[in-house]
Structure formats: structure tokens, C-alpha cells
Amino acid sequence: MIFEINSQYLRPNQIVQTVQESQNSAIMHSRKKRKRSQQLPQKDLEEVDRVKQAFIAMMSAARDKGLFCQNNFLDNNEVARLASMKFYQDTYSLKNENLYGSNDTNDAIVSVAHNKKYVFPKKCTFYCYDVRDIEKKMELSNQYDFILLDPPWWNKSIRRKKMKCAEASYKMMYNEELVKIPIRKLLHSNGIVAVWCTNSSNHLNSIFNEMFPSWGITYRAKWYWLKVTQAGDTICNFNSAPGKQPYELLILGSALEKDHKVNIPDSRLMISVPSAVHSHKPPLTEIIKEYLSDEPKCLEIFARYLLPGWTSWGLEILKFQHLSLYEILDECKKDESNVNKTKSGNENKEES
């Protein structure tokens, strides 16, 4: 239900405003021009337009194949918003620090951690620790072919949210702290690194000029995650002024020197319906595998969910594993032999 996004992200008062805009577009257009006198730099405007045109072309082909349905604008994503609210109410006080373990079986299992039920995918390993402890808790032997990071970037809106309700927000990190993560000691000599990033120029500059150089990583490509409604419309408009865009960025680099050939295409678009829950990124397993070796070892840092065959590290690794987000399709598949296959640093009574 958290993916029932059928209209652009609007506050209740904006719904009426948007209807009025469609009825009196000329007046509203002049108002917008007065409000948005500031524009993005020319190179950024050109980038936004390139993404927009590529998106239009892809969506035209997708609609021709009947991949998107009609929306219900006035619903304003009510089902998804209510599901998201319930999820936060059910999980906001959960604390899972100092938890580690794995599911070594070939099946997903449901296990109990701290008296709450979670879903553990097959062949997953997890560390619920602060990233500053990674050198103390994890072997650093250049073992990973792919490392994905979704940093808790320092953000004013998140900071305000944290002040309002500390339990409903994650712990942000300054860019200077992210530089210290020992990526180069974890990454294989021909491995790939990917970093989720907002459209903030400060964060992008930090990746290009601080994080990648400190990690010994060469920049290779910038990908775009386009967020759309179930009807295939962007969740917000493309913006010519500084502000929110309907996409987030994935910055990719490799450990190889710049003159070595790495087959990572630039400006790739990924299109999906986003979750109504904050910071819920789409899994990249199927998208990235064509650029990796067979049976790659993959690590996600600042992970908020688990993936089959991956190692996940972060203080919120079980956030999106909570059983309330899942539907058990076949309860007959319970197998008591799975009990005790998932290990943890704290109590962890299990059910398969």
C-alpha cells in the first residue's frame, strides 16, 4: 500500500490550488514568474532539460505498451499516506543497534528481534552498527565487487523533523565524516562504488572533490532515478529554479584508473513508483548486475533494508524488513529446520 502513489506530492491546500491553476493558468503563470525569479545555472538547466526529454521519450514508449494506469488525482495518495503513517507509528520507537547476523538458508524467513517480527531474505548478512565502527566489526580485505551508499546527508528539513520527533528521524552525518569511511579497504581492485545523492550542489561537490578522491575512486557515471505516479507522471514538476526535482541521483565510480575501460554508461534513467516512506530507495540488484562479475559480493552502507545475497550495514537495516510491510502468500511453507539459522548479537528468537 505504501506504493499507491497516484498523484503528485501535494499538501491538501495545494490540491485546490492546482485545480485553480488549470482553470486560470494565465494568471497563475504570471504569479509563478514573480515568485521564481531565481533560476538554476545554465549548465544545470540544460541537465534538467536533458533528463526531462529522455523521460518523455521513455514514458511514451512505456505507455504504448500499457505499463501505466489512469490515476485518481483527488485521492492525493491517501492510501499510501495512511499506510506510511501507520508504519511510522508501528516502528518509530524500535531500536536495533548492536545487532548482527545472517540468514544462511536458501529461503526467506521471518524472525523475531527485540520482540518484533522481521523478514530476512535468503543468504543475507547484516550489521546494525554505527558506520564509524566498521573497521572494528568487519573484515577489511578488499572483498566487495560493489559498494552502495545511501548517506544520511546533513539536511535542514530532516534536522527540523529530528527536533520535532527524534525517534522518527535518522542520525545525519557531515560530509567530512563520510570521507573517513574505509571504502578503498573494502572494495575489490576492479570494484564499483555507487552513492545516492540529492540534487544538492554541496553534496555533489563533496562526492566529486572529497569522497571519491579520498577513497581512491574515479568518477564514471551519473544515473537518474525518476519518481513517477502509477499513471507515469512525475511526482513533482521539473524545476527551473533551485528546489525539488522529480529525480534523485546515483553517482558511480570505480577503483580502476581513469584510462582503464569500465563499461558503465552515463546518464542512465531508472523509472519507478516510489514508496510513501521517506528514504526508501529501489533495489539495484537487477540493474547493476550486468556491470559486475558472476555471483558478485555486494555491500550496502547506510542500508535501510536487506537484499538476498548482500551484506548490509547501518543503524536502520531492519527498517523496511518489518513484517507489517509484507504479505505472507503461502503460510504452508513454514519449515522448522530454519530455526536458529539467523544469528544476532542480541536476542533473536525465530520462526521460519
- Span 232-288, pLDDT tens digits: 999 899 999 888 999 999 999 998 766 666 789 999 999 998 887 777 899 999 999
Measured in degrees and rounded to the nearest 5, phi and psi for residue 173 equal -130, 145
Number of CB atoms found within 10 A of residue 317's CB: 24
Q: How confident is the model at residue 346 (pLDDT cuts 50, 70, 90)?
A: very low
Domain CATH for 96: 3.40.50.150
Name the H helices within the chain.
12-23, 25-35, 42-64, 78-91, 134-137, 156-164, 175-178, 183-186, 201-206, 212-215, 285-288
Q: What is the pLDDT at residue 10?
A: 65
Tell me the average pLDDT of the chain: 81
Residues linked to residue 313 through DSSP beta bridges, in sequence order: 127, 301
Condensed to tens digits (0 to 9), the pLDDT of residues 286-330 reads 999 999 999 999 999 999 999 999 999 999 899 899 888 888 876
Residue 35, classified by CB atoms within 10 Å of its CB into exposed (0-12), middle (13-18) or buried (19+), is exposed
Q: How confident is the model at residue 127 (pLDDT cuts 50, 70, 90)?
A: very high
Condensed to tens digits (0 to 9), the pLDDT of residues 207-236 reads 999 999 999 999 999 999 999 988 899 989
Q: Is 270 a domain residue?
A: yes
Q: What is the pLDDT at residue 23?
A: 44
Compare 119 and 263 and report the one with higher pLDDT.
119
Q: Is 103 a domain residue?
A: yes
Q: How confident is the model at residue 129 (pLDDT cuts 50, 70, 90)?
A: very high
Q: Is 177 a domain residue?
A: yes
Q: What is the pLDDT at residue 295?
A: 93
Residue bearing cell 582503464: 260
Q: Find the domain containing 107 and state its range.
A: 41-325
Question: Per mean pLDDT, which range of 36-40, 281-285, 331-335 is the poorest?
Answer: 331-335
Compare 343 and 155 and report the one with higher pLDDT.
155
Element (H, E) at 252: strand 247-254
Q: Is 23 a domain residue?
A: no
Q: Give the C-alpha separation, 128 to 95, whole Å.
A: 10
Q: What is the pLDDT at residue 113?
A: 85
Q: Is 330 a domain residue?
A: no
Q: Is 261 a domain residue?
A: yes
Angle, CA of 149, 59 and 219, to the nearest 5°: 30
Q: What is the pLDDT at residue 79?
A: 74
Condensed to tens digits (0 to 9), the pLDDT of residues 57-114 reads 999 999 889 888 776 555 777 776 776 677 666 666 556 678 899 999 999 999 988 8
Name, in order, each residue with C-beta under 8 angstroms of 24's C-beta and a sequence gap of 6 or more.
none
Most confidently predicted of 5-9, 31-35, 146-150, 277-281: 146-150
Mean pLDDT of 19-43: 57
Q: How far is CA 325 from CA 1, 84, 103, 107, 321, in A?
A: 8, 10, 19, 18, 7
Number of CB atoms found within 10 A of residue 235's CB: 20
Flag whether pLDDT at 204 surpasses 90.
Answer: yes
Q: What is the pLDDT at residue 76?
A: 76
Q: Is 215 a domain residue?
A: yes
Number of CB atoms found within 10 A of residue 69's CB: 11
Condensed to tens digits (0 to 9), the pLDDT of residues 49-62 reads 999 999 999 999 99
Flag whether pLDDT at 166 surpasses 80.
Answer: no
Q: Is 180 a domain residue?
A: yes
Tally of domains within the chain = 1
